[in-house]
Structures are given as structure tokens and as C-alpha cells.
Amino acid sequence: MDISLHNEDFFGGVGRIADASVDLVIADPPYGLGKDYGNDSDRRYGEDYLAFSRRWIDAVLPKLKASGSLYVFLTWQHAPEVFSYLKTRMLMVNEIIWDRRVPSMGGSTRRFSSVHDNIGFFAASRDYYFDLDRIRIPYDAQTKKARSRSIFVGKKWLEIGYNPKDVWSVARLHRQDAEREDHPTQKPLAIIERMLLASSPPGGLVLDPFMGSGTAAAAAAVHGRRFVGFELNGDYLAIARERVAAAQPSQSKAAGNGGSTVDEFRLV
Ligand SMILES: C[S@@+](CC[C@H](N)C(=O)[O-])C[C@H]1O[C@@H](n2cnc3c(N)ncnc32)[C@H](O)[C@@H]1O
């Protein structure tokens, strides 16, 4: 599968991507919170951050197909303004709350502790691609048993599982986690996989403008999607390359042959 990783500023490289060629954008931009990515990219605040957000959105949107979608990771600080801007250009499908399952250990004393990311799911048109069957969640044995009364017997929804809700409860990656790489804001693979399986067809093209440790690239390699990504930091790019090289392609997933894949997730 064609996976193309660039140690390059996204704004410099995006012009090489053909217009209307991308099925899915997974954007995890700097948060505007001063994180250290070995560069100054997260030292934009207030209006400067919003101008940066509008700039990458304007650059990415012409690349999307009419059936394409975009997911963007944000925090509560900037999500309202960035969502508002995106809504002038795209159809807003969902706001997804990623509950990072942060354990309770004291925390803020003058406000409520913030433990979530705001993820925007936007579509280029009403005809956006969405494959619910790839991401259904099977009912557990207990629930199935509780639904064993005659009115539920043979119900298709009980067999095929339910569609994920808009609160995704997935532990952030801890230092000791086997999946963890040396990147400060690496996203769990399970979250990216759900986006990719639901919102890109097998063989489709996924674009990640801010690749970090290459979580989306690794997911694309496993699930048989084409991929193009950009990352400023050469150390992170090297990690991304290693992750792609180590990825084990899944025939069944790449073939997109339907059925639930959710038992592969650590997601509810
Ligand atoms: C929030 S992190 C992405 C983390 C990634 N999703 C992962 O799972 O590892 C944002 C990344 O964007 C990179 N970055 C910031 N500005 C960039 C730009 N203009 N072009 C390419 N990469 C950029 C930063 O170096 C940082 O690694």
C-alpha cells in the first residue's frame, strides 16, 4: 500500500497533493497550549492560533473528495471557534468527546479538572462515506441474555452490535504502555482506527497534516489505506517510519469485508 511520510512543513507539501483526491483527513494539530514538539509549532495563542487553524483548514479542504470527511482533535480552549469556522465550510456531523480516562488524583482546585479532547467530525457533503458495520460494538453476553425475551429473539441489531456513541472512553497512553512512543501527545491507535475504518473506504487516501509519531500512518498500513503525512520533527518522522514498517497488514480489514471489527478495539 502506498504510504508516503514527509519530514516537511505541511504548508510547503500540501500543494503536491491533487485536489479532490483525499477520502479522509485526520488532523491532530498543535493545541495552542505550549507543548514541546522540539519546535515552536505549539507556541501560538489566541488570534494567532485561530489564524493558523483557518490556514491549515483552507489548505486541506480543496484536497478532499465530495465524499470525504475530516476529523480534528481540539481542546475546549479553541474548539468553539475552530468548529464555528469549519461549519462555514463543511457539514458538522458530530462532536466526539474523547474521555482520556484520567484517574482522580487531586487536580485543579479552582475549577473542574479537564479530562477530555473535543474531536470534530465534519463532512465535505451530505454524501460522505460512512461504514457503520466496520465499527459496530458487539453486545456482551450479559446484555444479550437480558434481551432474551421472545420479542428480542432474532433481532438483527442484537447480533450485529450497536453503533458507537459520541463519547469515546479510552485511556491516554502511559509511559509504560506497549504502544507508547517518544511523543508528548501521541494518540491511541484504537481511536484513529475507528475514524479510519468508519470514514475511509479500503484503498482510500488518508491525509494527516500533523503526523507526530505516525499513529494514523500505522493505522493506514494495518488497514489497507493509502496515506500521506507531514511532520516537522525528524525524530518523530523516524518513529513513524518504524511504526509503518512494523505494521502487520490485516487481509480481512484491508478487504473491508464487512462484519464487526470491534473486538479488535479497546473502545466502548
Ligand atoms: C498533536 S501532535 C500529533 C500527534 C500524532 N497524532 C500522534 O499520534 O503521534 C502535532 C504534531 O504536528 C507537528 N507539526 C506542527 N506544525 C506542523 C507543520 N506545519 N507541518 C508538519 N508538522 C507540524 C508537531 O511537530 C507535532 O509533532
More confident residue, 160 or 260: 160
State the distance from the centre of ligand 1 to the C-alpha of 139, rounded, in angstroms.
Answer: 36
Is the shortest distance between the CB of 186 and ligand 1 below 6 Å? yes
29 CA to centre of ligand 1 in angstroms: 6
Does any domain span residue 43? yes
- Measured over the CA atoms of residue 196, residue 199, residue 202 and residue 204, the dihedral's sign is negative
Q: What is the CATH number of the domain that holds 234?
A: 3.40.50.150
Domain presence at residue 234: yes
Residue range 171-188: mean pLDDT, rounded:
94
* Mean pLDDT confidence for 88-96: 98
Residue 184 lies in a domain: yes
pLDDT at 248 over 70: yes
Using a pLDDT cut of 70, give the percent of the chain over it.
93
Q: Residue 266 — very low, low, confident or very high, per pLDDT cuts 50/70/90?
A: very low
How far does residue 121's CA lie from ligand 1's centre (Å)? 19
- Is residue 257 pLDDT above 80, yes or no? no
Residue 164 has pLDDT above 50, yes or no: yes
Please state the rounded mean pLDDT for residues 57-72.
98
Average of pLDDT values for 21-26? 98
Give the least confident one: 80-94, 129-143, 145-159, 168-182: 145-159
147 in a structural domain: no
Question: Ligand 1, from 41, 57, 100: best to mutate by most atoms within 8 Å of Cβ?
Answer: 41
The answer to whether the CB of 71 is under 6 A from ligand 1 is no
Query: How many whole angstroms separate alpha carbon 17 and alpha carbon 24?
Result: 13
| Residue whose CA is at the smallest distance from ligand 1 atom 12 | 210
Q: Is residue 144 part of a domain?
A: no
Element (H, E) at 58: helix 46-60
> Would 150 be classed as within a structural domain?
no
Contact 162, 135 (CB under 8 A): no
Looking at the predicted structure, is the pLDDT value of residue 79 above 60?
A: yes
Q: Is 28 in the pocket of ligand 1 (CB under 6 A)?
A: yes
Q: Is 39 in the pocket of ligand 1 (CB under 6 A)?
A: yes
247 lies in which domain range? Answer: 3-103+112-132+165-264
C-alpha cell at 111: 475549577
With 70 as the cut, is the pLDDT of residue 259 above it? no
**Cα separation of the two ends of the chain:** 29
Q: Is 53 touching ligand 1 by the criterion CB < 6 Å?
A: no
Q: Is the pLDDT of residue 264 over 60?
A: no
Report the pLDDT value the prediction gives residue 148, as an integer from 0 to 100.
Answer: 74
For ligand 1, whether the C-beta of 212 sits within 6 Å is: yes
In the chain, the number of structural domains is 1
CB 212 within 8 A of CB 231: yes
Q: Is the pLDDT of residue 263 over 50?
A: no
Task: Note the Cα 133 to chain centre separation in Å.
Answer: 18
Mean pLDDT of 153-164: 83
Answer yes or no: is the C-beta of 7 below 6 A from any ligand 1 atom. no
Q: Tell me, yes or no, whether 137 lies in a domain.
A: no
User: For residues 50 and 238, what is the distance between their CA atoms, to the nearest angstrom?
Assistant: 29
CA of 30 from ligand 1 middle (Å) equals 6
Which ligand 1 atom is the nearest neighbour of the CA of 210?
Answer: 12
Residue 99 C-alpha to ligand 1 middle, in angstroms? 21
Q: Where are the beta strands (DSSP E) in 46-140?
A: 64-74, 91-99, 116-123
Residue 145 belongs to some domain of the structure = no
Indicate the top mutation candidate among 9, 11, 210, 233 to test ligand 1's pocket, ranked by most ligand atoms within 8 A of CB: 210
Beginning with the edge strand found earlier in the chain, give each strand of the sheet holding 226-230 in spatial order: 3-6, 226-230, 205-208, 22-27, 64-74, 116-123, 91-99, 167-169
